[in-house]
Chain A
Amino acid sequence: DAGVTQSPTHLIKTRGQQVTLRCSPKSGHDTVSWYQQALGQGPQFIFQYYEEEERQRGNFPDRFSGHQFPNYSSELNVNALLLGDSALYLCASSLHPGTSAQETQYFGPGTRLLVL
């Protein structure tokens, strides 16, 4: 049973560049959430996708955008990178809203982004 997978594992970018991170959900899951974890902090919710639509968004600027594909995989895009965007980006998958235990999210290993 494949768990949540993310790519790439590490990434180095410079300020002002754009980045795309990818996530494949756990088998049987159709909902994907993205979190940002700065060094020494707990993860912060960015947004969640279900049925290819953004369902809920955290307190992140419009530079952060996403997409979900028909196979439930998802991308996180960040434009105009800032030094403060350096973090571990975590993807989590879950069952769709309205199902039992929808709130249980399973996390991938993350993508570590360094912005120079």
Chain B
Amino acid sequence: AQSVTQPDIHITVSEGASLELRCNYSYGATPYLFWYVQSPGQGLQLLLKYFSGDTLVQGIKGFEAEFKRSQSSFNLRKPSVHWSDAAEYFCAVVLGGDYKLSFGAGTTVTVRA
């Protein structure tokens, strides 16, 4: 079955430490890949996207993600987190020519001082 999996429900990280959020997908073809962030009570903000080309993608707010076809993964990273990075992060995919985004269940990130 087609699915998007975010294995980590909740991650706690110290301010200034690095962060990595995992995302795996299960689709017959390589989909287009996205990471969104949602602050409490807010809508979704697009962090970055991958359609094709360079497998290391740079996004806003210092985030980057790496696409690995062999592992069907699109993990999100940030070298040094800030307290303002505390939020919920969603990985999402869409198949080319399709119209709907399919989301993972999300990973909640807590940043401790």
* Nearest-CB residue, chain A, relative to B108: A40
Shortest CB–CB separation between residue B113 and chain A, in angstroms?
26
In the complex, A28 has a CB within 8 A of chain B: no
- B96 touching A103 by the CB < 8 A rule? yes
Distance of A6 Cα from B44 Cα, bound (Å)? 13
Number of A-B contacts (CB under 8 A): 60
By beta carbon, the residue of chain B nearest A57 is B100
Measured CB to CB, the closest approach of chain A to B47, in angstroms, equals 12
0 or 1 for each of B43-57: is its CB under 8 Å from A? (1 = yes): 111100101000000
Residues of B near A35 (CB, < 8 A) are 101
Interface contact B43-A48, CB-CB below 8 Å = no
Whether B109 sits at the interface, judged by CB under 8 Å, is no
Is the Cβ of A42 less than 8 Å from the Cβ of B105? yes
* CB < 8 Å neighbour of A56 from B32, B92, B99: B99
Q: A41-B106, A42-B104, A101-B51 are in contact. Are A107 and B43 (CB under 8 A)?
A: yes
Give the distance to chain A from B63, nearest Cβ to Cβ, in Å: 16
Closest to A10 in B: B41
**Contact residue among A6, A43, A97 (Cβ-Cβ distance under 8 Å from B99):** A97
Please give the residue numbers on chain A whose beta carbons come within 8 Å of chain B beta carbons, in ascending order.
Answer: 4, 6, 31, 33, 35, 41-45, 48, 55-56, 58, 90, 92, 97, 101, 103-110, 112
Known A-B contacts: A55-B99, A56-B100, A92-B44. Give 11 more (CB < 8 A).
Answer: A4-B43, A6-B43, A41-B105, A42-B90, A90-B43, A103-B32, A103-B51, A105-B101, A106-B46, A107-B45, A109-B42
